Structure formats: C-alpha cells, structure tokens
Amino acid sequence: MKHLSILSIFAACCLFSVHADGAADKPAPPKPKPQRIVNRVAAVVNGRPITSSEVRARLMPYVQELTMLYPNQGSRFNGELIKAKKAVLDELIERELVLSDFEGRGLSMPDSAVEEEINRRIMQRYNGNRDALLKYLRASGMTYSEFRDSVRKEVTVMAMRTARYDRDIPPTPDEIRAEYRATRSDYRDVTRDQIRYEKIYVPFGSGDDPNATLEEQKAFAFALTDAIKKGEISFADAARQYSQDEFADQGGQWPFRKRSDHAPEFANIIFSLPKGELAGPILTPGGFTIVRVQEIKKAPAPSLNAPGIKARVDDSVRRKKSEKRYREWIKRLRSKAVIRIYI
C-alpha cells in the first residue's frame, strides 16, 4: 500500500469549503470542475459486484480516527489501516455470499426496517447528526441511494440468517436476563454520554514562529506531549502557556460536555480513553490536540421492559447461540464461490 501524506488523507476525511468574493467590476473566474471520484469495482462475488465507493464509505471513519491518532502515520498507522480495509472487504464479501445463496427466493425488506437501521447508525456513528452521514457519503463518492441500497442488503442478510439459523433456538427467560445484564450498555442513547477532560489545543500557525511548517509544529506538539508525560511541565502550565482555546487560562480544565458536542471521530477517540491516560497529539481540524480524560458519565441503560429492548436482547442471544453454525455455513459458501478482488 502506498504511503499517503498526512495532508492528503486528512483533506479527504474533513470537508471544508472556502468562499472568496471577486471584485464587482471583474468577471468571475471560471469555476473549477468538481473532482469526480471514480466508482470502480473493488471485488466480484459470484458475479455480484462490490464497488469501491462502498469500501471507501465503510473505511472512512477508520481512516479519520487513525489519521487523528497517528499524525506521524508510519508503520502503526499503515498496519491498522490495512487491517481495517481487510475487515471491511471481508464483511462485504460475506454479505454478497449470503445474498448470492438466497438469490431468487424473493425475500425483501420493508422500507421501515431499512430506515430503522439507517437511523440506528446515524445515532451510533454520527451522534445523531444526519448531515455528518451525508458528508461522509459525498467524500466517498457514494450517493444516499447507493448507501440505502447497501443497508437494505445488510438488513436482508440479517433476516436471512435469522430465518436459517436463529429461529429454532429460542432463548430462555434466564438467558435473556443474563444477556441483558452483560450487554445493557449497548442499548444506551450514547449521544447523552458526558465527558470531562483536560485539553491543550495548538492550532496551526501558533507559537513563537507563526511561519513554522506543519512538520515543525507537529514536532513541537510531540515534544510538548513528551514533556508532560515525563513531568517536565504540568498539564495545567502547558495549557496556560501553549493552548489556544476558551479554557486555556484555567489550565485546560473543561467542564462536562455531551458526546454530541464533539465531532463524531473525535468523540469516538476520547470516550474510549482510560481515565487519566494522556492522549496525543491528536490531529484535529486546524491544529493538534492533547487531551487527558478526567471523568465519563454514561447515559443510563434502558429497562429490559422498555419498548423494543427485549426483542433486541432476544435477537442477540439467538445470534450468539447460532454463531458457530453460521460461521461454518459461510466457510462452505466461500469455498464454493468465485471471488475476484481488484483492490
């Protein structure tokens, strides 16, 4: 895999628009044609194509988080990216294997089931922000119609699996209660989670030398992080001296904020950090961020008797009980399939 520059990846991940007004007495320069993303075939499974836009759309959240976590990129970044790409492609291949096996049986999904799954993803991955999903799709070259069709396929596969394996293994009430106790946090409204942290934000063009290059500023951000880790400077003093945000003069101490107050990719990173662990420098739009989590308050889990929860727990139990047989079935399908991979 080619080594991508930090700017090229980050530009692909973050969508910014810059507007410049020309003088009134001068004709406006011709607008450059928008760059077209070619939607090639990434793989073919029994004659069924998987498009590169599908792969990009699924991979993009991973790319964004990895770019933020590993500004230097290097072997760790590339290794994680290769693993993520392989996992995404394997999921799409598995989906087409199942659809191919059931082709012609006439099973279709109602629009309501597809819309419910889309709304669940928007809540889980984009903090409930539908516009954030649309930005991801535009950057990947995938239309909303293509995305909806992709979701329909996945919902159909889930229904096919249920019809083939899950239906004949009804869970007992004890199994449902045990599963709920083990997984109840999965049913929370994560957008209501709150976090309190210490933060240092070093924007591009800041510091003693406003003309410093990106590489020089990145080196400074790494050096500052190392100095804090080694105890050469306290987090609070570093924030007062170098941070440029609204809580810098308070030693970088931020009050509780909701998950939905943050960009989804940044929220995914900080809400997964252990308490007290220093993270950074994280590449964020406009600069570098160093953060240390102080406390996380998770939204309460819904009751097992809340609408729809017991059915989801029931489905989870059935899925786990049938997982071994399902994996054996997928292995048989793969052994008989004709699979061509082009990326």
- Convert the pLDDT of each residue in 288-337 to its tens digit: 899 999 999 998 999 998 988 998 898 888 888 888 888 888 888 888 88
Residue located via tokens 């924007």: 203
Distances (CA, A) of 50 to 40, 150, 161, 199, 343: 9, 10, 20, 42, 11
At residue 23, the pLDDT reads 32
Residue 208: band (very low, low, confident or very high) from pLDDT cuts 50, 70, 90: low
The H-or-E segment that residue 196 falls in is strand 194-203
What integer is the mean pLDDT of 195-220? Answer: 77
- CATH 1.10.4030.10 spans which residues of the chain? 41-169+325-341
Cross-strand partners of 181: none
* pLDDT at residue 215 is higher than 80: no
* pLDDT at residue 19 is higher than 50: no
What integer is the mean pLDDT of 124-144? Answer: 81
Distances (CA, A) of 47 to 53, 106, 252, 303, 339: 18, 19, 56, 45, 8
Angle subtended by helix axes 130-140 and 111-125, to nearest 10: 90
- Tell me the C-alpha distance between 230 and 228, whole Å: 5
Q: What is the DSSP letter of 257?
A: E
The residue that leads in pLDDT, 162 or 305, is 305
At residue 168, the pLDDT reads 63
* pLDDT at residue 58 is higher than 80: yes
For the domain made up of 190-297, the CATH class stated in words is alpha beta
Intra-chain end-to-end CA distance of the chain, in Å = 10
At residue 319, the pLDDT reads 83
- CATH 3.10.50.40 spans which residues of the chain? 190-297
Q: Of 33-47, 148-162, 173-187, 248-262, which gets the smallest average pLDDT?
A: 33-47
Entry pTM: 0.60
Strand order in the sheet with 257-258: 257-258, 194-203, 287-297, 278-284
Residue 197: band (very low, low, confident or very high) from pLDDT cuts 50, 70, 90: very high
Between CA 153 and CA 157, with CA 155 as vertex, the angle to 5 degrees is 70
Q: What is the DSSP letter of 253?
A: B
Q: Residue 207's Cα: distance from chain center in Å?
A: 32
* pLDDT at residue 178 is higher than 70: yes
Q: Looking at the structure, give the CATH architecture of the domain made up of residues 41-169+325-341.
A: Orthogonal Bundle (1.10)
**How much of the chain is helix, strand and coil, in % rounded to 5?**
55, 15, 35
Distances (CA, A) of 163 to 146, 160, 201, 325: 26, 5, 51, 13
